[in-house]
Chain A
Amino acid sequence: MPHGALSISASALSAQRTRLNVIAENLANANTTRTEAGGPYHRRVVRLESEAPPFASLLPGEPQLRGVRVGAVTAVPETRRQYMPGHPDADPEGYVEMPNVNPVLEMAEMMAATRAYEANVTAIQALKGMAQKALELGR
């Protein structure tokens, strides 16, 4: 039973789920003008990077297959100014610093993450099918 394939696909499931969580956070805070750090919310993006398996250095002969992990979640420090006089956070001219979240972009990103998640689920199911078929040997 190849442990490698399962843990590789599992690492991708976890990474894509984190990506979805960050997208959800962006969408939820699309209109947040005040945060703990002060100022409006900044949209965040994940950086995916490939990850060598644990103890890889102990097995020098074997070519190492890489899973994926979220390397960093970084904020994009941009805002846009919107004219909203009377808003509690408006400046004297009536402008409010709003988050730079673009819902269309976030939705597209969300679909990409969902599809990537599904692709990895399919890979796991293919492996499961192969393993189950192999168990039928000699029946």
Chain B
Amino acid sequence: MSGLFGGAIEALRQASAFALRRHEILAENVANADTPGFRAHDLSFASELDLARLVQSRPDPVSELDVRIVDAPDGPARPDGNDVDIDRQMVRLTQNAIYHNVVVHLLNARFNALKSAIQGR
């Protein structure tokens, strides 16, 4: 996608989708914090480079991000085979919500810039 809504806006759209998807994964961990044998997951970018490119939102067309669900143990598994640490998960959940708010804020800023350009004032 390019043109008016390409570049930064497209990158931010993907970042917002990433945050919502990551929330699902983290909510799964929190829901299963007491389930025997459950392993914690997380959603991650395939590489930090993707993240850096996203943040800088280079003008070149942004390809669909390569995100994947990975095992993310919070430490050694408990005797019941569960490795979710509820405190760490809650911190991630909060971080992710704040990250999403930042992304929405930036998106709004871009839209407002477009709006002023269109209205010429």
Contact = CB atoms under 8 A, between A and B. Distances in A.
For chain A, which range describes its interface: under 10, 10 to 19, 20 to 34, or 35 or more residues?
35 or more
A65 B90 CA distance: 18
B104 interface: yes
Contacts of A12: 30-32
B51 interface: no
B101 to A, nearest CB: 5
A8 B69 CA distance: 16
Given A4-B24, A137-B104, A130 B34 contact: no
B70 to A, nearest CB: 11
A134 B33 contact: no
A4 B75 CA distance: 26
A133 B35 contact: no
B23 A130 contact: yes
Interface stretch (A29-37, A81-89, A98-106, A120-128): A120-128
A90 interface: no
B54 interface: no
Contact of B27 (A48, A127, A139): A127
A17 interface: no
B25 interface: yes
A12 B26 CA distance: 13
B77 interface: no
B30 A137 contact: no
Contacts of A49: 35-36
A4 B21 CA distance: 9
Given A2-B23, A48-B36, A130-B20, A136 B108 contact: yes
Contacts of A40: none
Given A5-B24, A11-B31, A139-B108, A133 B100 contact: yes
21 contacts: A5-B28, A8-B24, A8-B28, A16-B34, A47-B36, A48-B34, A49-B35, A49-B36, A50-B35, A50-B38, A65-B24, A66-B28, A66-B32, A119-B89, A119-B90, A120-B31, A122-B93, A123-B30, A133-B101, A133-B104, A137-B108
The 9 closest A-B pairs by CB, nearest first: A12-B31, A5-B24, A5-B27, A126-B97, A65-B28, A4-B24, A130-B100, A123-B27, A133-B104
